[in-house]
Amino acid sequence: MTLIIVEWICWLNGQRKIAPTPEEMAILEARRQRVKENVALLKKEEEERKAREGSGRKITSMGKGDGPDLKSFIQQLPVDSKDDKSSKHTTTNKQKEKEAKQEPESTEPTGSGASFRPGTWQPPT
């Protein structure tokens, strides 16, 4: 920790054109003191809040086996019959085919890493 005030360090390093005045130093010191007081007040209020919450509420920790009940969540999901599922998949596939036909071909390179050949792709002109 340095005993030199930040404003003086900035002036000595050329980050500030004018040296700090005594009036400016008094204002900055008063601001620093207010900040320290506010921090102390906030810490005190936080401790009081924790004390109030701690006495009024029990905190339960969840162990490794504890967690949400997924069975009840799954029961809330709608159940489709097998006929509905197959018709949905058919509709989805047909829609995908239509969308693929409507989309213009991309000029971006495609393929897997195995088919990559350096220098073969050229940007569109």
Expressed as residue numbers, the domain containing 46 is 21-56
Cβ-contact 122, 109 below 8 angstroms: no
pLDDT in tens, 3-15: 888 899 999 999 9
**Is residue 28 within 8 Å of 7, Cβ to Cβ?**
yes
Cβ atoms of residues 12 and 2 within 8 Å: no
- pTM (two decimals): 0.38
In a domain, 39, yes or no: yes
> Which amino acid is located at 3 in the chain?
L
Evaluate whether residue 88 is within a structural domain: no
**Is position 33 within any domain?**
yes
C-alpha separations of 116 from 86, 107, 123 in Å: 37, 15, 15
Work out how many domains the chain is built from and give that number. Answer: 1
Identify residue 34 by its one-letter amino acid code: R
Q: Is residue 43 part of a domain?
A: yes
5-46 per-position pLDDT tens digit: 889 999 999 999 999 999 999 999 999 999 999 999 999 999
Determine the Cα–Cα distance for residues 57 and 50; give it in Å rounded to an integer: 10
80-97 pLDDT, tens digit per residue, is 655 544 444 455 666 666
Q: Which amino acid is at 27?
A: I
How confident is residue 67, by pLDDT bands cut at 50, 70 and 90? low
